[in-house]
Amino acid sequence: MQFGVFSVSDITRDPVSGETPSEAERIDAIVQIAEKAEEVGLDVFAIGEHHNPPFFSSAPTTLLAHIAAKTKKLIVSTATTLITTNDPVRIAEEYAMLQHLAKGRMDLMLGRGNTAPVYPWFGADIRQSLPMALENYNLLHRLWREDVVDWEGKFRTPLQGFTSTPRPLDDVPPFVWHGSIRTPEIAEQAAYYGDGFFANNIFWPKEHYMRLIKFYRQRYAHYGHGTEKQAIVGLGGQAYIAKRSQDAINEFRPYFNEAPVYGHGPKMEDFMEMTPLSVGSPQEVIDKTLTFREHFGDYQRQMFLMDHAGLPLKTVLNQLDLLGEEVVPVLRKEIESRQDPETAKPPTHALRVKEKYGDQPARQPRPNANRGDNVTGGSPYQDSE
């Protein structure tokens, strides 16, 4: 099982100090957070994508490439990449490039984005968000698997003889998670392609997510990718940890109370009772996280939201120490001993290369000399006609 942190990239006023970090400070901080995640033994760092203040992460592959260069083992990912307002051709290119630079230590999670005004900035319409997401992914899926693509759809210019470059590393496409809260069509698409399904698991009671994950597992099996237990599931979560439970509650409360989305709303205690938020000692966070697999089945990736709501960098780094040193090692051990042996291994590039090639060498596409186009003839690569 993989453990990691995901960030929304919000730049929020610290309600305790009253300070709002600058964009420059917050971008520096996120790199330190990612490096810290690796240092304390976490497996994954993921960043969101937003195109409006108060968020900074408009160009996730740039950030992730930088982080990949500064780390050795960490998998970099997104939470989420917008499959609606981004051209799927650009996603194919940018993330394949990231995959090469990160030597395969990456994957991505797709989401639709729910901020209506963002859509027209990119020539799109939120009312078409769902069919656009589905069609765009159908195209993205082909761009990473076919050297030359002819394509026509409703939401972008047709493609004639298009090759998305670079081809994926080892000709193994990046692993894709589809994030959704209540849209069965997204779960269906994840299942159809045998991709991962991610439930953010933060804002709502678990029942919301349980229904959709169950549907995804059934459909994953229906499409013949494996059994329901072998479907690839990721979950979000949210924690604030202190050695003493009461300290955690006292320290986190001002941030909870003013947090974007749920701040100024429910009492923290009620929110903890009804959602996956844990605020408490390492043992309390461990106990709560261990209940997730009982509700959702064994899963492959657990992400924690740790750096939002204006928490200062120093606190976040300290949180990561506690998460990496006192929580995750216990979770790894406990889950390993409880996990159904049928459970699929978490997706990594190495595993996917092995699945595709066994012990054979991976394909390394070498382009033919430039002839100005690749519309005529078979393939622009030397190893195929």
Partner 1 sequence: MTEQFTLVVVSAGTSDPSSTRLLADRAAQRVATLAAEKQYEVDVQVVELRELAGEIANALVSNHIGAKLQKAIKALQHADGIVASTPVYKAGASGLFTSFFQILDNDLLIAKPVVLAATAGTARHALVVDDQMRGLFAYLRTVVVPTSLFASTEDWQDNALNKRIDRAALELVALMAAGFEKQVRSESWGRYQHEFGSAGGTELSIDLDSDLMRLAAGGHA
- When asked if residue 205 is in the footprint of partner 1 (CB under 8 A), the reply is yes
Q: How far is the CB of 202 from partner 1 (least distance, A)?
A: 11
Which of 72, 73, 264, 314 lies at the binding interface for partner 1 (CB under 8 A)? 264
Q: Please give the single-letter amino acid code of residue 33.
A: I
Burial class (CB in 10 A: 0-12, 13-18, 19+), 7: buried
- When asked if residue 131 is in the footprint of partner 1 (CB under 8 A), the reply is yes
Burial class (CB in 10 A: 0-12, 13-18, 19+), 53: exposed
Total residues in contact with partner 1, by rule CB under 8 A: 35
Which of 118, 193, 225, 339 lies at the binding interface for partner 1 (CB under 8 A)? 193
Q: How far is the CB of 256 from partner 1 (least distance, A)?
A: 11
Which of 140, 212, 305, 323 lies at the binding interface for partner 1 (CB under 8 A)? 212
- For partner 1, the closer CB: 270 or 325: 270
- For partner 1, the closer CB: 123 or 205: 205
- When asked if residue 134 is in the footprint of partner 1 (CB under 8 A), the reply is yes
Which of 3, 271, 292, 296 lies at the binding interface for partner 1 (CB under 8 A)? 271
Stretch that binds partner 1, among 110-118, 237-245, 259-267, 329-337 (CB under 8 A): 259-267
- When asked if residue 295 is in the footprint of partner 1 (CB under 8 A), the reply is no
Which of 70, 211, 244, 338 lies at the binding interface for partner 1 (CB under 8 A)? 211
- For partner 1, the closer CB: 54 or 263: 263
CA dihedral 11, 22, 97, 69 (to 10 degrees): -110
Q: Who's near 363: CB < 8 A, 6+ residues apart?
A: 170, 171, 357, 383
* Contacts with partner 1, 136-155, as mask; x by CB under 8 A: --x--x-----------xx-
What residues are paired with 299 via a beta bridge?
none
Give Cα 263 distance to the centre of its chain. 24
- For partner 1, the closer CB: 141 or 308: 141
- When asked if residue 194 is in the footprint of partner 1 (CB under 8 A), the reply is no
Cis before 80 (ω within 30): yes
Q: How far is the CB of 200 from partner 1 (least distance, A)?
A: 13
Write 289-294 long-range contacts (CB < 8 A, 24+): 289/237, 289/239, 289/327, 289/331, 290/331, 290/334, 290/335, 290/338, 292/201, 292/235, 292/237, 293/335, 293/338, 293/339
Q: Please give the residues from 163 up to 192 whose contact with partner 1 meets the rule CB under 8 A.
A: 182-186, 188-189, 192
- For partner 1, the closer CB: 138 or 379: 138
Q: How far is the CB of 70 from partner 1 (least distance, A)?
A: 36
Stretch that binds partner 1, among 18-26, 74-82, 165-173, 201-209 (CB under 8 A): 201-209
- When asked if residue 203 is in the footprint of partner 1 (CB under 8 A), the reply is yes
* Cα–Cα dist 217/296, whole Å: 10
- When asked if residue 275 is in the footprint of partner 1 (CB under 8 A), the reply is yes
Burial class (CB in 10 A: 0-12, 13-18, 19+), 17: exposed
Report CA-CA distances (Å) from 329 to 3, 227, 333.
10, 28, 6
* Cα–Cα dist 91/266, whole Å: 38
- For partner 1, the closer CB: 55 or 271: 271
- For partner 1, the closer CB: 136 or 163: 136
- For residue 39, the number of C-alpha atoms closer than 13 Å in the C-beta half-sphere is 14
N- to C-terminal Cα separation, the chain? 41
- For partner 1, the closer CB: 263 or 297: 263
Tokens of 234: 């990721």
Q: How many CB atoms lie within 10 A of CB 264?
A: 9
User: Rule CB under 8 A: which residues touch partner 1?
Assistant: 130-131, 134-135, 138, 141, 153-154, 182-186, 188-189, 192-193, 203-205, 207-208, 211-212, 215, 261-266, 270-271, 274-275
